[in-house]
Amino acid sequence: MQSKNLINVGILSSLINPSDSVYRLAISTASGKLGQGVFNGFDPFGAALVPSGWMTLYTVIYITALLILAWRNFSRRDF
């Protein structure tokens, strides 16, 4: 019961705000082998899927671009 529209909306929302990708990567890294059990992803602290390397790269580029924009914006202010 997977709808193409819902999948596309999920992908688009992940590209606009990749915070879920950062969360899933942090949880999977922190839990290690411990988080690979049968019930992985069914609790609030589980990560059912680890984000791909491309999504991780996109997230790093996204955060870097936002930090550069914020730095430029605040450097123009008079204090």
Is 0.75 topped by the overall pTM? no
Angle between helices 19-31 and 53-75 (to 10 degrees): 120
Token couple for 20: 């879920």
Q: Is the predicted pLDDT of residue 55 greater than 60, yes or no? A: yes
Confidence of residue 71 (pLDDT cuts 50, 70, 90): very high
Determine the Cα–Cα distance for residues 42 and 57; give it in Å rounded to an integer.
26
Query: What is the separation of C-alpha 48 from the centre of its chain, rounded to a whole number of angstroms?
Result: 13
Q: What is the pLDDT of residue 70?
A: 94
Question: What does the chain come to in residues?
Answer: 79
Show me where the domains of the chain are located.
Answer: 4-75
Q: Which of 32, 33, 74, 26 shows the shortest CA–CA distance to 51?
A: 26
How does pLDDT run across 8-51, given as a tens digit for each residue? 898 898 889 898 888 888 877 877 766 555 555 555 666 567 88
